[in-house]
Chain A
Amino acid sequence: MSALALKLHVKRTWLYIVGILLLLFLNLPILVIVPMSFSDATFLQFPPQSWSLRWYEAFFGSQEWLASAWISLQAAIWTVVVAVPLGTLAAYAIDRTENVIGKAVRGLLMSPSIVPIVIVAIGIYFLLAQFRLNNTLVGLVLAHTVLAMPFVIIAITAGLANFDVTIERAARSLGAGPVRTFLTITVPNLRGSIATASLLAFLTSMDEVVVALFISSGPQSTLPRRMYASMRDQVDPTIAAISTMLIAVVLILVTVMSVLGSRNKKSTTEN
């Protein structure tokens, strides 16, 4: 390291300290949950004095917890199945339409991310109430799809930004109509973005709690819904176990995605 660079690093010590402290601030709270989930005590105790897996057993042994996890999983999968194709088509349409219509469509599809979630939630609650779709999986999926849409649009739009339009033209010149071109050329080359969009849609649905508060309850509760109820009443360490598992799932998914992503980059062509 050159003398100038070293001098710069020394001067910056205070900045480094502040930065690292802030990064710790962002991440430590979440990590604190992990040891708590292995605590044997029924009340909060830090650091845990005795260790056990009882809270994990509590989760896996409870019909209600498992049922809510299953509902959340189903909702998340269906959300991906609905949101990703619809969102991909829409993002493509927005990208290839450079006029007022394109901008309006984009604004509409991005609106759930700007409007305060409670407002979206009461709207959905109101709508589903009219059709008696509250407390149903269908209602959940509809709601989560709407909430996931902005993320799908962002992910696909990012992929389209790096997309070489000429290969679509090449396909057309070779005799493929617009539909065949889209399915055989465009979509395969958006694989990475579609995977990211799917992950985002999945997580959005799995983690979604506010709308679930309105439209899912009792036996139809989603996992976050049940967690919320438990958190309000008393601090139930089972939540620590569930949270730890959720954190682990996110870490695994994100790591897998980034590994796949960097492998993809190495083998993609720059035309």
Chain B
Amino acid sequence: MTLITLGAGEREAPVKKRNFTWTLSLPAVVLLAVVCVVPLVVLFALSFVEGGQPTLAHYTRILTSPAYLTILQTTFALSVGVMVLAVLLGYPLCYFIVNLPEKWRPLALALVSLPLWTSILVRTFAWQILLQRRGVINSVLMDLGVIQQPLQLAFTIWGAMLGMLHIVLPLFVLPVYVAMTQINRRLLQAALSLGASNTRVFWTVFAPLTVPGVAAGMLIVFIYALGFYITPEILGGGKVITVSMKVAENATMYSEWGAASSLGAVLLIVAGLAIGLSSKIGKLLSSGGRK
């Protein structure tokens, strides 16, 4: 047996041999298993059934029917679009907060978190007000003389995207901010001391180090956006149909469990692929420079 000297401050065993602490989690586990997992497993099984017969019909319909394909496209496009916008707007915002004097940061973070604490309905409603023909944006723009006729903002995919962006932005900013704060200041100072300009330091040292955090933020936003339901439905006014909306429709209006669950499964698969892809890429990139 190897005799090795432990570092200063010996550690003792964290857990006794027969540790039953994990059983404390059983009530919660049972609840989640029964309410969440079991029904989904059953529904997944049902996705392979139509009219009492095992079949792949649901899945083939999804992949071939033009209606479904449009829905998948829309959802995917919206999710990617929102994700890209979140990065473009969220990154500067994070950088801004990180460079604020210490005493202003809690306020800035609170201003980012406040929308998160607000109900998604309230936020969606806010955009409804803003985007309507006689809504705030149009009123202001017309008052300022910028436009003569009110713009059609509501009930379009752009209105929906705007609302979705608003909801998703804090979800991106918070983890990326945390990642930025964990970058070792000394590295930046070292680069500056070696003669690099601020801009160069930003692009060659800081930005690359934020990549893992940004990737994580993008993943969070993308997966959240895949599942968007309320906001695109209300702001899109029937012109925007996402996968979630179709799933709901199939389940509630038609009680088509097979159709609903197969769509749901596709959604989960896409989300799973995104997670897998993201972690593969993450492993390829090195992550040095952490404190």
A binds B: yes
- Interface residues of A, Cβ cutoff 8 Å to B: 11-12, 15-16, 18-20, 22-23, 25-27, 29-30, 32-33, 36, 43-47, 86-87, 89-90, 92-94, 96-98, 101-102, 105, 108-109, 111-112, 114-127, 142-143, 145-146, 149, 203, 206-207, 209-210, 213-214, 224, 227-228, 231-232, 235, 239-240, 243, 246-247, 250-251, 254
Inter-subunit contact B92/A44 (CB<8 Å): no
B196 at the interface (CB under 8 A from A): no
Inter-subunit contact B135/A25 (CB<8 Å): no
Inter-subunit contact A97/B22 (CB<8 Å): yes
Inter-subunit contact A98/B128 (CB<8 Å): no
Task: Give 29 CB contacts A-B under 8 Å.
Answer: A25-B169, A30-B114, A30-B118, A32-B126, A32-B129, A32-B130, A33-B126, A90-B27, A96-B14, A96-B21, A101-B22, A108-B32, A115-B36, A116-B223, A117-B229, A118-B227, A119-B40, A122-B247, A122-B260, A123-B43, A126-B43, A127-B35, A127-B39, A209-B121, A210-B230, A214-B251, A224-B121, A227-B125, A250-B118
Residue of A11, A29, A123, A209 near B36 (CB, 8 A) is A123
A111-B32, A116-B268 known; A27-B115 Cβ under 8 A = yes
- Interface residues of B, Cβ cutoff 8 Å to A: 14-15, 19, 21-25, 27-29, 31-40, 42-43, 89, 92-93, 95-97, 99-100, 108, 111-112, 114-115, 117-130, 132, 134-136, 139-140, 166, 169-170, 198, 223, 226-227, 229-230, 233-234, 243-244, 247-248, 251-252, 257, 260-261, 264, 267-268, 271
Inter-subunit contact A254/B31 (CB<8 Å): no
A29-B127, A227-B121 known; A109-B135 Cβ under 8 A = no
Inter-subunit contact B32/A92 (CB<8 Å): no
Inter-subunit contact B244/A116 (CB<8 Å): yes
Task: Count A/B pairs, Cβ under 8 Å.
Answer: 251
A126-B39, A126-B257 known; A231-B121 Cβ under 8 A = yes
How far is it, in angstroms, between the C-alpha of A240 and the C-alpha of B268 when the chains are bound?
35
How far is it, in angstroms, between the C-alpha of A107 and the C-alpha of B8 when the chains are bound?
34
A29-B166, A45-B134, A224-B119 known; A15-B92 Cβ under 8 A = yes
How far is it, in angstroms, between the C-alpha of A117 and the C-alpha of B167 when the chains are bound?
15
Give the distance to chain B from A97, nearest Cβ to Cβ, in Å: 4
Inter-subunit contact B37/A206 (CB<8 Å): no
Give the distance to chain A from B92, nearest Cβ to Cβ, in Å: 5
Inter-subunit contact B118/A247 (CB<8 Å): yes
A26-B169, A108-B29 known; A119-B92 Cβ under 8 A = no
Which 5 pairs of residues, A with B, have the shortest CB-CB distance? Answer: A116-B227, A19-B96, A207-B119, A123-B39, A90-B25
Nearest residue (CB) in B for A199 is: B117
Give the distance to chain A from B173, nearest Cβ to Cβ, in Å: 9
Inter-subunit contact B21/A90 (CB<8 Å): no
